[in-house]
Amino acid sequence: MNTSWQAELAESFTRPTDLLAFLELDEIHRPEFLAATERFSFRVTRSYARRMNKRDPYDPLLLQVLPDTRELIDHPDFASDPVGDLKAVTAPGVLHKYRGRVLLITTGACAIHCRYCFRRNFPYDTNMIGKRQEQDALDVIRRDRSVSEVILSGGDPLALSDERLARLVEQIDAIPHVRRLRIHTRLPIVLPSRVTTELVATLTETRLKSVVVIHANHANEFDRDVSEALTAFQKARICLLNQTVLLKGVNDNAEILVRLSETLFENGVLPYYLHLLDKARGTRHFDLPLDDALAIYQAMREILPGYLLPKLVREEAGRPYKMPVG
């Protein structure tokens, strides 16, 4: 049976032209950009679209989801596996890159498709923990006593049903050497109704310490529904962190990022990482010269209290941690 968030998800925009009509931007109907959706399909929730400014073709939320013909221009520096994910696969859907932490690709599904996504070319069909691969993945964790943290990722792990998540968490909970459960998700931002009482209960009724890492890139992504969803986690004393991707045209200025940090804090979330763009094929139009990124970060450092300054990092394949920059 569909719950209300699943029904809401099913109402998402799946054609750019419908979103543009909703935003009263019919004049930028450019049929040629539809070609970009053949490589990576279009998807955005109505909730997220309502936070976009009408009639603004440069709206920072719109630019994150609007297909662009520049996605079709290949460049040697922009690859299908930019951060070496596939070399870190230890069983289907299991990524073990960093000491003590194992990341599970629980699904390929997301509620919105971010055009800059570093996993936009990820082979989910062969590298995902469907019900069939679940036991093998859990066995890998059971056998490796160095694993103290399991990260649920994807896609978006909160695209799974509450029942499936509860079962997965229960099984991870039963592995004695695992102490922390981390969820990397954009759903509290793009589909806040996903934060159900059952979900919060799953994360609090386990002996594992839960950390929810959300993904927001701009203060305009927050509205009352998002605040309420985050409050539900906060009331349950679940640690909330945020990751941001530095994106040309979206948030490439210190003032925007300072406002984001302040908005996060008002919602009980601490800024964690500010990522330089991972060079995934088709994302080059979001890339920013390193010097510009460093100048933005320096300006942020001069304005923000230390606890609201995210770590500026770049992921390099084969490195033992995300590399600090600046």
Ligand X SMILES: *Cc1c(COP(=O)(O)O)cnc(C)c1O
* Rounded (10°) CA dihedral 277, 279, 281, 286: 30
Contact pick of 70, 101, 209, 248 for ligand X (by CB under 6 A): 101
Task: For ligand SF4, give the closer residue by CB, 156 or 175.
Answer: 156
Evaluated on CA atoms 156, 157, 158, 160, the torsion sign reads positive
How many residues of this chain bind ligand X (CB under 6 A)? Answer: 9
Of residues 29 through 88, those in contact with ligand X by CB under 6 A are 88
**What residues line the site for ligand SF4 (CB under 6 A)?**
110, 113-114, 117, 119, 155-156, 186, 215
Return the structure tokens found at 273. Answer: 């990482």
For the chain, the residue count is 326
Q: Tell whether residue 152 is a contact of ligand X (CB under 6 A).
A: no
Mapped onto helix, strand or coil, the DSSP state of residue 248 is: coil
Does 211 bind ligand X (CB under 6 A)? Our answer is no
Instruction: State the minimum distance, in angstroms, from the CB of residue 25 to ligand X.
Output: 35
Q: Which is nearer to ligand SF4, 91 or 114 (CB)?
A: 114
Nearer to ligand SF4, 185 or 263 (CB): 185
What would you report as the CA-atom Rg of the chain, rounded to the nearest whole angstrom? 19
97 binds ligand X (CB under 6 A): yes
Q: Which residues contact 149 (CB under 8 A, 6 or more apart)?
A: 100, 101, 102, 178, 179, 180, 181, 182
Cβ 184 to ligand X shortest distance, Å? 8
Residue 1 C-beta: closest distance to ligand SF4, Å: 25
Residue 11, Cα to own-chain centre: how many angstroms? Answer: 21
Structure tokens at 179: 């102490």
Q: Is 322 in the site for ligand X (CB under 6 A)?
A: yes
Nearer to ligand SF4, 94 or 175 (CB): 94
Task: State the binding partner of 114 from ligand X, ligand SF4, none, CB within 5 to 8 A by kind.
Answer: ligand SF4
CB of 252 within 8 A of CB of 224?
Answer: no
In the beta sheet, which residues pair with residue 212?
Answer: 183, 240
Nearer to ligand SF4, 71 or 156 (CB): 156
Distance, CA of 191 to CA of 9 (rounded, Å): 8
Rounded Cα distance between 33 and 66, Å, is 9
110 binds, among ligand X, ligand SF4, none (CB under 5 to 8 A by kind): ligand SF4
A 10 A CB-CB count for 145 gives 11
Q: Does 22 bind ligand X (CB under 6 A)?
A: no
Residues forming contacts to ligand X in the complex (CB under 6 A) are 88, 95, 97-98, 101, 103, 151, 321-322
